[in-house]
Structure 1
Amino acid sequence: MYSLTSSAADKVKIGLMLPYSGTYAALGDTITNGFKQYVDENGGKLAGLPVEYYVVDDESNPSKAVENTRKLVKRDEVDVLVGTVHSGVAMAMAKVARDSKTLMIIPNAGADELTRELCAPNVFRTSFSMWQPAYAMGKVMAEKGHKKVVTLTWNYAGGKQSIEGFKESFTKGGGTIIKDMNLPFPNVEFQPFLTEIASLKPDAVFVFFAGGGAAKFLKDYEAAGLKGNIPLYGSGFLTDGVLSAVGKSADGVMTTLHYADGLKDPIDISFRANYEKRYKAIPDVYAVQGYDAAKLYEAGLKAAKGDTKKIKEITAGMKAAKFQSPRGPISISKAHNPIQNIYLREVKNGLNNVVSVAIPALDDPARGCKM
């Protein structure tokens, strides 16, 4: 327990701006669950301060993001913004945070630029950059001896950044991209691309898809007769959160991500048991990212001795934070992105089982960050 200074607040106001309706509602709920689990495990407090939540459904709608964020900052006067899933919404949130000098923690959105050219002293991320898992998979596939690869994704920023991260390490390892394919977001008419993949006969395929589109792609890949003939790889979101919907269609698919099933670390075992007891569900990467957002903010509050207004002290404490997460050891880069293990996982029996550490302590290169 931390004794508070005379100038410290009597509570901490958390602004949760996440999707609670629409396509990404389940992700918003799970991130919130993880955040609240950490707080509840610590007696409903952060650094000795009782927690008060202010919750906004961002609807994954960038056009409403500025107005919603300003409400939390101006009307509710929250001490920290926590959000969000959709990168377009997160970038709008980050602009308001920078302009108002409000602390912000991103518990999911992976757009590279948030901790690259748009980096800011008061904006932190507890999830990943799009580059991190994809770069790790490029290294894995090159080391497996794949020489000719086809890539496929949606034609939007997240997909493009994932493919670029993959290509950077795969080509460095001696591989060749024989064709880059993409389709408009959120189109899921994959058949023409699967037919072309079959005719090109690459050594392997790397894709970036997530959510419902990922589930349909996995089923279509098997239905097209490609599974078992042309190995399929992806960034971890290809299989996270969709395995119950796709059944055995995903068996054997390998992905890379900063969390996996079966890590067998005592902290992860405890985290998973508590989450399952509390929410009657198996936690995933989104729950971990929310949990670590609360943990990172507490590190900052402790450095400021519980004074929520001492932003310089709080951010210094967050920058210096090094802790064991359910995902493994974490530290914070100069650009405020997590430095973390990226795991190679293989789908077996409905789980993303850990195979190995693809790259330990991977740091995003933070190109263009000027802090």
Structure 2
Amino acid sequence: MGQKCGELHAASLLRMRRVMKCLGMLPICQNLFAKVFCNVILVITVGYSSSWRFSFDYDFDYDFLNDHFSSTIDLTNFGALVASHFIIVIELLWGNCSRDVDRQLQEIHYQMSAHLDTPANTVRIRGYCNAIYGSLFIRCLIFCLVTVYNNRALTYYALYSEIILMARFSEFTLYCAVILFLYHELNLAASNVVKELEKTRFELWSIRLLSLEKLPKLQRIHGSLWESIRCLERYFQLSLITLLMKFFIDISALPYWLYLSKIQHTEVSIQHYVGFDEIIKILEIIVPCYLCTQCEAMQRKLRSMFYTITTDRRNGQLNAALRRLNLQLSQEKCQFSAGGLVEITTEMLGKFIFGTISYIVVCIQFSINLRASNSSQIAPSSTPSAHI
């Protein structure tokens, strides 16, 4: 069992754990001294970045003293970045239950191969996770390159925190891929069970019983998978909703900075930085929403598979097993929630994008009206008085 469990972890989360340890998000070893050391690094990093940021000893791309609206958005962005960085690392260090999640997922993978005769093949999950790792590497590389190209202190000081956020959200995406993989395997196993029930309909009772006994096993595995999703929600209880709020602020504010740089004719490197950052943030949130929606579709497919069984419905034992399984499948849904506030689906993604677009329009329109109001107030005061 350990070998097969190790295969699943090695194919999915092992490399992310190493990356997070290198970034200082996780301690090298699980003891109090290592956690305190990571905590000290976090406090020093966040404290130094905040003290420098609020010293205002750097160049601004807007009129900081007179443009209060832009300064408010700027400081809100930085506050959200620092708060997200702090919450993510603290939750990982002191509320870390990743071992429970990994243990449950690995046990489910073993039970499916041992009790439902599914092959212990990790090729599919390796493909999913390699794509996610490749996407994370490309996004981090592009973000680092545009930061160097922009060559401003403000972006350099935000680089480390932004990478921390990308790593944490990519970890959630990897877990979504693992859940999708297990649901796919569970659907294959369920399809094989249905075929066996049809095939052994006229066989001896001893052979028929072997197929019937797989239904309770399938029900237990599905219940374990549902419990692992709830455990996964507890693992990301604070950081997931924090990341979504941070992405909402960034995706809404970045087009405003692009608009501001256009009308003020700032350097083109700033526009490139803002544009790439916007694309990276949008791609970041699309993938897990799609994976979570696919998991929900797999759950519906599994439920419909047993609702439509018409084979040998006069068998009391088969009917009882199917009723229990259908009742569980109808009550327990595969839905990921962020802190119990929003469900991670493509429907949520649509509402998210619509909200950001509305916020972008409001910000730009408010800025235009504010500038027009300021111009109208400055114009009379600057007009010279006529000589009497």
TM-score class, shorter-chain normalisation, is: under 0.3
Give the structure-2-normalised TM-score.
Answer: 0.25
More helix by share: 2
Max radius of gyration: which structure?
Answer: 2
Using the size of structure 1 for normalisation, the TM-score is 0.26
More strand by share: 1
